[in-house]
Amino acid sequence: MPTDAGAIGLTVVLIALIIFVLVVLVKSVRIVPQARAGVVERLGKYQRTLQPGLTILIPFVDRLLPLLDLREQVVSFPPQPVITEDNLVVSIDTVVYFQVTDPRAATYEIANYIQAVEQLTTTTLRNVVGGLNLEEALTSRDQINGQLRGVLDEATGRWGIRVSRVELKAIDPPLSIQDSMEKQMRAERDRRAAILTAEGTKQSQILTAEGQRQAAILAAEGDAKAAILRADGESQAIQKVFDAIHKGNPTQKLLAYQYLQTLPKLAEGSSNKLWIIPSEVGEALKGIGNVLGNATADAPDGDSHSRTHSG
């Protein structure tokens, strides 16, 4: 029996020793992932900063603090009420991009660097926006972002943190101001639409008047050219008739006959109430009368001569 009890006790001791060795190994061996950093304290005092990879610690002497993320982090803070220069309360939502550059400073210089960045952002935002009116705050986001980044980066440098960017996600004025701004924008859009409509009507009227003017000019030019062509045609026709008459050497009897044939044509048409006979017609009629008188005077002599001859 004592022998069995001693064996059991030895087995328990061995098991405890194995467990102790495993615990020591677990506490001694640490693997730090990429883009992480760890701070090691030896007997409560900063000893070194672990880089990514495998490292060995002294059990029960060295203590590894929670690993720090070295990647760039994005933190969105809840909307903060800020009073502008013209005493209007606006709600501003911010986003901060930062990165831990010194794990030792981020561990020992500040208790909670994320909360510290949030509070510093809120304070700086109120100082910057407090010097601007509402319109400037709405239209100067880039300027506000630059000022916030400069102040935050300078203040967080001693904490081992580098602030790369600060963005304003939203700037929300009070509801009453939003309604007024919306009405103003609507009135501005209506004014621009009215101006564009008036400009369009003006241009349309100008183009229409210009088209009518061009059409009138073209019509007048066409009428003038047509009148010139008609005058040229009539001139050429008169010239041809004149040439033909002179070449034919007409007698007084022929001219008188042509005048008599032309007279009825002058009276044609229901609107011809009064027509004027040229003075040449009288001369022509006189010539016709002389011709007819001569013919009448010759006719009895011939008849008497024939009658005498027949008797």
* pLDDT value, residue 223: 86
pLDDT, averaged in runs of 10, over the chain (311 residues)? 67 84 81 91 91 87 90 89 86 90 92 88 88 83 87 88 88 73 74 87 88 88 86 78 69 63 61 56 59 53 41 36
pLDDT at 59: 83
For the chain, the domains span 2-68, 72-173, 186-248, 250-267+274-297
Q: What is the reported pLDDT for 36?
A: 92
pLDDT of residue 304: 42
Report pTM. Answer: 0.52
Q: What is the pLDDT of residues 86-124, one digit of tens each?
A: 888 888 888 999 999 999 999 999 988 888 888 888 888
pLDDT, one tens digit per residue, over 170-219 is 888 877 676 666 777 777 778 888 898 888 888 888 988 888 888 889 88
* CA nearest to 38, candidates 116, 104, 128, 97: 104
Sign of the dihedral defined by the CA atoms of residues 128, 134, 137, 140, in that order: negative
72-173 adopts what CATH topology?
A: Tetrahydropterin Synthase; Chain A (3.30.479)
Q: What is the pLDDT of residue 101?
A: 93
What one-character-per-residue DSSP string does 77-134 give?
EEEEEEE-TTS-EEEEEEEEEEEE--HHHHHHT-S-HHHHHHHHHHHHHHHHHTTS-H
